[in-house]
Structure 1
Amino acid sequence: MSRNEERSSGGIILPGLDRRTLLKTIGVGAVAAAGIPLLSACTGGSGPNADPSASKSLTFGSGSSDDVPKAAYKAVTDAFTAKSGDTVTSNVVPHNDFQNKIATYLQGSPDDSFTWFAGYRMQYYAKQGLLSPIDDVWEKIGANFSEGMKKAATGPDGKMYFVPNYNYPWGFFYRKSVWAEKGYAVPTTFDELKALCATMKKDGLIPIEFADKDGWPAMGTFDYINMRLNGYQFHMDLTAHEESWDQPKVSAVFDTWRELLPYQNPGALGMTWQDAAINMGKGKSGMYLLGSFVTQQYTDATLLADIDFFPFPEIAMEGQDAVEAPIDGLLLSKKGGNNQAARDFVEFIGTPAGQDAYAKVDPSNIATAKGADTSSLSPMMKKCAETIANAKSISQFFDRDALPAMANNVMIPALQGFIKDGKIDVKNLESQAKALYAAQ
């Protein structure tokens, strides 16, 4: 996500019927006729009678709609045009709309290239035949990426589909001046975290800033508690439904999370992550569990320099070895694969020059290409980069590691219900997961 992203999803979905099932059942045209909104995509780079391989233009669909990432991608397209002479027409869609309607978008008239995520979310649509493989692009840019990045960009058929642009860790962010004034110390264990929360509450702060109006932010808390309690591999097996939801290990995640509920913002379900970031910026809250993109909300240099970061504390196993660090980048639609200008564009984002163009405008993320300029990273972002580099295991985020329908249709309402009253039905989660994964 970035999560302007995350990011990562509260659109209206018919009860018991996800968009993929709906589209498969009645077709894209019927969905449009029924009044279900589609993403508005620009018409692709070349006309019907033109040779797309000779096109000097392309269309670019972007879900990075917040001001900072929107401007950053404009810097990328401008730099690409200056280098290649190719024209890029951007189609920027509100992030949650883009994410929730991606299946409709890809089955309709998608742009040539578009922003998306690594992990299962990319592999799922590659398996559906909705993406264009870009092995030829990776022959040119492969040396710029680690083996881990290459693995994250590989589809289920072994072909390459994704070009990483940046990633970012999730962790706790806080204002150094507030902590210094109160004498707070960074917790490294869950017990220390709870003790700190209790102190912050006595001091009149919201201990853990939290927002879940859009549905996806709560997944970060679930992911970390699950990995810290049960380990990275269990978490990945659970998202793949190779482990069941109705077992004590999963119940323990919610039991542990329940201990933090009194310390999280009680108005979370009515707030966006940007609202919560403003609260922390004003010194109303002690810390905020989110991705480093939270710093996009701070335009004042003094305030930005006051933000610091620490990893999620250890609970039961693997210490702090696992880090949630989603990878964002670009894909080609099936149509876009026939447009050489579009292939050149995704190649550009896989170079230091392309990623530097992005990072100069949005310094809240970490470039993935070897050779990208890191000299301008703030001390906090260097700490974030080191946290990722030192991690033994990296998760993408629940809504990227799990089946899309499981994330959107099941987990979002389940987690929002849990936040509201502390109740969860793991047997119901397992029943829904079993049906959804069996249908794949």
Structure 2
Amino acid sequence: MKDPISPAPALFGMPVPRRSVLLGAAALASAPALVACGDDDDGGGDTGGGEVTFGSNEVGSTFAKQRQAAVTDFQSKNAGYTVKLNEIDHNTFQENINNYLQGSPDDVFSWFAGYRMRFFARRGLVGDISDVWPLDGVNDSFKTASTGDDGKQYFVPQSYYPWALFYRKSVWQECGYTVPTTFDELMTLGAKMKADGLTPISFADKDGWPAMGTFDILNMRVNGYQFHIDLMAGKGSWESAEVRKVFDTWASFLPLHAPDSLGRTWQEAAQALQQKKAGMYLLGTFLLDQFPQNEREDVDLFTFPAIDPAVGADAIDAPIDGFCMSAEPKNAGGAKKLLAYLASVDAAAQASRLGEPFISSNSKADTSSYTTIQKKSAELVGSAKNIAQFLDRDTRPDFASTVIIPAFQEFIRKPGDAASILKSIESQKKTIFID
């Protein structure tokens, strides 16, 4: 069966805000590995109640508060059910996911649409939740993104958000900057910002994944969406002329980025934009978590401009966040009930009250509290022709973490070594994409 691709944005139906990714309060941010928090006496079927364990990839953030609020709301609406939250910081969760799923995972856990979900479904590490579908208000495009290679559903979507270039309107107005429509204009704008004493593009890659967003957009602008998705699936060669051209473009673009990025987190890079020390930042809308509420209306965004007019600028990264069920949940009925709730209008409302700039996957969710950036985000996603899920969701997790992260960080250190870096990526790829 052909791999499903990310859904066409025109099918999204312009849902609501916020990353309704609702968590709890176990505060395990310092834990070296994921630990499931359930007991062993619930049984496997629908008990009509009981405890549901919930593994979450957020601690201490607004997103964590959203999940806590949703859990409280779920329990108030479903007498007899309790939800026990197991919160782990995002990077620890990502890096330990394989061990977590092969150990004693929680009944429900945070995850993503795309290749990484299908990868675990193929290996029997996540549970079939086809009977949770259809979900009221959730369009068929999201069902496609939630479907494994066998045609069954293994994921429930909750929200999505675009990656774009963000800037502060007040800074641009003061300096007379205008939105670039071509890559050459972007380079010229960056040079002007540098002359004005700004860091043209804030950047951080201490955690390894932010540079993936830069590669994604450059590859889609240079070679197009389908080439990018095929490359992520292990097809084609990283030593090809097409990929070399991407890295040549990236090398010319790097001098506009903040130096010493490997020692900086994305939060620190976002703070440079917030403090008006940087002119732009390529990231997802979650960067607004680093802005006080009274400054968020000063933030605007635009899609990365075209590099090749023949390819255009109609493809973007717009990851879909949501939840999966473990392969052998202790409370399967409760897990499915919680999953259906997390995709609901009620869960979207809980997220909206806490004010994050994400768009609900539920087309019936209330959009009246949309901020300007949410409206712009919805327009950007809605006008895109093709949507990628982000590199570490569109490819195998082992390839992303063990090959791509160190390779991209090495390129950032030594952009002149691109040829040897690409040779190493291709050699390792052949040993990983063997099934």
Q: Note whether the superposition's TM-score is higher than 0.5.
A: yes
Match of 2:15 in 1: none
Map 1:58-207 to 2 at 5 A. 58-85=52-79, 86-139=81-134, 141=135, 143-207=136-200
Letter in 1 for 2:69: A
1:202 Cα deviation (Å)?
0.3
Partner of 2:389: 396
Provide the rounded CA distance (Å) in 1 between the counterparts of 2:248 and 2:47.
56
Residue 127 of structure 1 and its aligned partner are, at CA, apart by 0.8
1:339 to partner: Cα distance: 2.4
CA offsets 1:369-394 (integer angstroms, 9 cap, x no match) = 11011111111210111111121100
Deviations 1:231-276 (A, max 9, x none): 0000000001111111010000010011111110102111111011
Partner of 1:21: none
Q: 1:312 maps to what in 2?
A: 304
User: Structure 1: how far apart are the matches of 2:218 and 2:333?
Assistant: 44
Distance (Å, rounded) in 1 between the aligned partners of 2:192 and 2:33: 48
> For the residues of structure 2 that align with 1:178 and 1:358, how far apart are their CA atoms?
30
| Cα distance change of structure 1 residues 339 and 147 upon mapping to structure 2, 3 Å threshold | closer
From 423, 428, 431, the counterpart of 1:432: 428
Aligned to 1:266, what secondary structure does the other structure show? coil
CA contact (8 A) 1:113 1:330 kept: yes
| Partners of 1:55 and 1:339 within 8 A in 2 | no
What is the rounded CA distance, in whole Å, between the counterparts of 2:87 and 2:324 in structure 1? 15
Say whether 1:377 aligns with 2:370: yes
Identity %: 46
Hey, what's the Cα distance between the residues in 1 that align with 2:205 and 2:286? 16
- Secondary structure at the counterpart of residue 208 of structure 1: strand
Quote the Cα distance in structure 1 between the aligned partners of 2:34 and 2:331.
Answer: 21
Quote the RMSD (CA, aligned, Å).
1.8
| Separation in 1, partners of 2:119, 2:216 | 20
The answer on 1:47 being equivalent to 2:62 is no
**Distance in 2 (alpha carbons) for counterparts of 1:205 and 1:358:** 35
Contact 2:43 2:330 in 1 (8 A): no
Q: CA deviation at 1:37?
A: 4.8
Residue type at the aligned position of 1:307:
V
CA contact (8 A) 1:132 1:337 kept: no
Contact 1:359 1:367 (8 Å CA) reproduced? no
Distance 1:51 1:117 in 2: 25
Listed one character per residue, the Cα deviations across residues 184-220 of structure 1 (whole Å, up to 9, x for unaligned) are 0001110000000000000010000000000000000
How many residues are aligned here?
403
- 2:352 alignment counterpart: 359
Which residue of the partner structure matches residue 284 of structure 1?
Answer: 277
Large movers: runs of 4+ above 4 Å: 48-52
Residues 342/49 of structure 1: CA separation in 2 closer, same or farther (3 Å cut): closer
* 2:65 aligned partner, one-letter code: A
Unaligned runs of 5+ in 2: 1-17, 22-30
TM-score, scaled to structure 1: 0.88
1:246 aligns to what SS in structure 2?
A: coil
Aligned residues of 2:42 and 2:330 also touching (Cα < 8 A)? no
Q: SS of the residue aligned with 2:164? A: strand
Higher RCO (Cα < 8 Å, 6 or more apart): 2
State the SS of the aligned residue for 1:80.
Answer: helix
Residue aligning to 1:237: 230
Q: Distance in 2 between matches of 1:427 and 1:337?
A: 45
Alignment of 1:213-362 (within 5 A): 213-301=206-294, 303-316=295-308, 317-336=310-329, 338-362=331-355
Residue 338 of structure 1, CA deviation:
4.5
